[in-house]
Amino acid sequence: MNTAVAPVTVPVTVYVPADSAALAAGADAVVTALQTGCAQRALAMALVRNSSRGMFWLEPLVEVATPAGRVAYGPVTPEDVPGLLDAGMLQGGAHVLRHGITEQIPFLALQERLTFRRMGVTDPLSLSDYAAHEGWAGLRRAVTLDSAALVHEVTHSGLRGRGGAAFPAGIKWKTVAGAVSAQKYVVCNADEGDSGTYSDRMTMEGDPYMLIEGMTIAALAVGASMGYVYIRSEYPHAVAVMSEAIARATAAGFLGDDVLGSGKRFHLEVRKAAGAYVCGEETAMLESIEGRRGIVRAKPPLPALQGLFGQPTVINNVITFASVPIIFARGADFYRGYGMGRSHGTLPFQLGGDIRQGGLVEKAFGLTLRELLYGFGGGTRSGRPIKAVQVGGPLGAYVPESQWDVPMDYEAYAAMGAALGHGGIVVHSDKADMAKLARYAMEFCALESCGKCTPCRIGSTRGVEVIDRILVGRHREQQVELLRELCDTMLHGSLCAMGGMTPYPVLSALNHYPEDFGLVPATAAAPDPQLA
């Protein structure tokens, strides 16, 4: 024991995240070590299990409240704890793991956190913490507005669906608001199955009331009295936190028969998915909630008119709903002021894969991939050069270095045959075999296809076979032509994005990395009208 450290009598607040990613890095063992260490040293610690700041390379990130602000230490292992305590961690003392004031860490300081402004700051389930950090301000304003004004505010904010399709939320809400029915629903699509994405998980685990608030505002806007949050089964912590948050919010009058004394009814329920990727498609999700196999429905009818149980239904993704409270708290103009072109507001980008500083970066639309990869991400974790970056999940295109300076907005990415999707960014080093990844995309589609439409169900299996033939070099040029034709069929003939976007990773890999398919770059780089 270091006698230089005076025993602390007033408990010092120490934050250790309980986010899944922190737990996976050993946060609970760090808590045990802190409790033991403090007890041995007669130090008083008030522990708060916050959510993650989204700097996952520093997890478990332990923060200590000091008069100068919260000081960050990370990544902390249980073995580091005695040394940290002896170094005066509870007073913000110097240590090799100390990163200074958390909010001044460049990765965080350079972000524009609107939706994620409370992330890692508050205790996720504390209603008083939420209220103290601008919580419920949007809902309090929303209960004073009528349906038309609510829909107008969302439309004017420019908010578009953050799940991938980027459809204007206001238009969707307006359709549901205008539908005549005794029963309407609000459904949150939290079946975040895309590799490289975790912003929904973070939101549900780290700031659940924000999602509840956003869904409640949507319910007021369209006249819905019942809502569901459909959460993937791979996220047990998110299911637990959301369920508890709904119970607490209901008990406190933010949900239930009389939302904030408005006389309006809105009940919310968590539904656990069961591991079918395609249930992230909205109509397959509705089928699943209704208790059936998650088979995609043909549209029309639009879910906005005939959705869950055949009733008008607003379906949005977690981040879309989570963006709503701040739009009402600070006004549509405030939100609209961020971004570029027709992409307004911010997008939580999620850096993953072979990246040194993996984590969540919320920025206005318009920054470049290069800024994300090197400015925030710091290059690869392996130290190897970056070869390809998959943007927008398993159905997103592989973006080569020549396109890393394109501003990230929905239109610019669509123009180059890619998609921002849900903001997931997966980095591959020069070790990646792009033909293998293209094959994997087809294999994944074959595994996860719901089977309703032929291009997706059969095309994906044929796609694996064709790529296999390309790789062994049997009639290679001919097979490449066949693969392009197959992709064209899937792109235009599939019922939903599962089969319709699987060609994105396949064709982008083929177009930008022909040598991985055993092709001579010059001959294979034939411009493709779909994915130039």
Partner 1 sequence: MKPDRPSSVAGTPVVAPLVFVPRTSKIPGAGPEPMAPALAAQVNPLIAAHRERAGALLPLLHAVQERLGHVPPMVVPAIAEALNLSRAEVHGVISYYHFFRSTPPGRHVVQVCRAEACQACGADELLAEAEALLGCKSHETRSDGAVTLEPVFCLGLCASSPAVQVDDQLHARMTPARLRQLGEQLEILA
Does 234 interact with partner 1 (rule: CB under 8 A)?
A: yes
Does 12 interact with partner 1 (rule: CB under 8 A)?
A: no
Does 463 interact with partner 1 (rule: CB under 8 A)?
A: no
Q: Which two tokens stand for residue 147?
A: 């349906």
Q: What is the DSSP string of 286-300?
A: HHHHTTS--PPPPSS
Q: 170 vs 206, which CB is nearer to partner 1?
A: 206
d(CA 58, CA 54): 9
Does 247 interact with partner 1 (rule: CB under 8 A)?
A: no
Contact 424, 395 (CB under 8 A): no
Q: 159 vs 510, which CB is nearer to partner 1?
A: 510
d(CA 446, CA 502): 10
Does 274 interact with partner 1 (rule: CB under 8 A)?
A: yes
x/- letters, 21..60, toward partner 1 (CB under 8 A): x-xxx------------------------------xx-x-
Q: What is the DSSP string of 100-141?
A: EEGGGSHHHHT---STTTTTTTS-TT-HHHHHHTTTTHHHHH
- The one among 120, 164, 303, 394 contacting partner 1 by CB under 8 A: 394
Does 235 interact with partner 1 (rule: CB under 8 A)?
A: yes
- The one among 163, 339, 352, 499 contacting partner 1 by CB under 8 A: 352
Does 106 interact with partner 1 (rule: CB under 8 A)?
A: no
- The one among 117, 267, 272, 476 contacting partner 1 by CB under 8 A: 272
Does 271 interact with partner 1 (rule: CB under 8 A)?
A: yes
- The one among 336, 440, 528, 530 contacting partner 1 by CB under 8 A: 440
d(CA 477, CA 286): 43
Q: Among 323, 209, 326, 198, which residue's Cα sits nearest to residue 268? A: 209
Q: How far is the CB of 283 from partner 1 (least distance, A)?
A: 14
Q: How far is the CB of 193 from partner 1 (least distance, A)?
A: 6
Q: Which helix (H) or strand (E) holds 361?
A: strand 360-364
d(CA 42, CA 21): 30
x/- letters, 401..420, toward partner 1 (CB under 8 A): --------------------
Alpha carbons within 13 A on the beta-carbon side of 284: 25
d(CA 340, CA 332): 15
Does 275 interact with partner 1 (rule: CB under 8 A)?
A: yes
Q: Which helix (H) or strand (E) holds 400?
A: none
Q: 156 vs 272, which CB is nearer to partner 1?
A: 272
Q: 293 vs 342, which CB is nearer to partner 1?
A: 293
Q: 155 vs 195, which CB is nearer to partner 1?
A: 195
Does 79 interact with partner 1 (rule: CB under 8 A)?
A: no
Alpha carbons within 13 A on the beta-carbon side of 499: 26
d(CA 126, CA 245): 9
Interface segment toward partner 1; rule CB under 8 A; list 42-50, 84-92, 358-366, 457-465: 358-366
Q: 201 vs 344, which CB is nearer to partner 1?
A: 201
| Residue 42 vs residues 12, 38, 80, 288, 357: alpha-carbon distances, Å | 12, 6, 18, 54, 36
Q: How far is the CB of 279 from partner 1 (least distance, A)?
A: 8
State which amino acid sits at residue 242.
M
Does 289 interact with partner 1 (rule: CB under 8 A)?
A: yes
Q: Which two tokens stand for residue 139?
A: 């809902």
Contact 221, 177 (CB under 8 A): yes
Residues in contact with partner 1, counted by CB under 8 A, come to a total of: 58
- DSSP-derived pairing of the beta strands 346-353 and 424-429: parallel
- The one among 203, 390, 479, 494 contacting partner 1 by CB under 8 A: 390
d(CA 295, CA 448): 11
Question: Token pair 């869950």 is at which residue?
Answer: 308
Interface segment toward partner 1; rule CB under 8 A; list 143-151, 321-329, 354-362, 406-414: 354-362
Contact 213, 320 (CB under 8 A): no
- The one among 203, 283, 317, 429 contacting partner 1 by CB under 8 A: 429
- The one among 63, 192, 207, 281 contacting partner 1 by CB under 8 A: 192
Q: How far is the CB of 31 from partner 1 (least distance, A)?
A: 15
Q: Which two tokens stand for residue 322?
A: 């989570």
List of residues contacting partner 1 (CB under 8 A): 20-21, 23-25, 56-57, 59, 192-198, 201, 233-236, 271-277, 288-294, 309, 350-355, 358-360, 381-382, 390, 394, 424, 426-429, 432, 437, 440, 444, 448
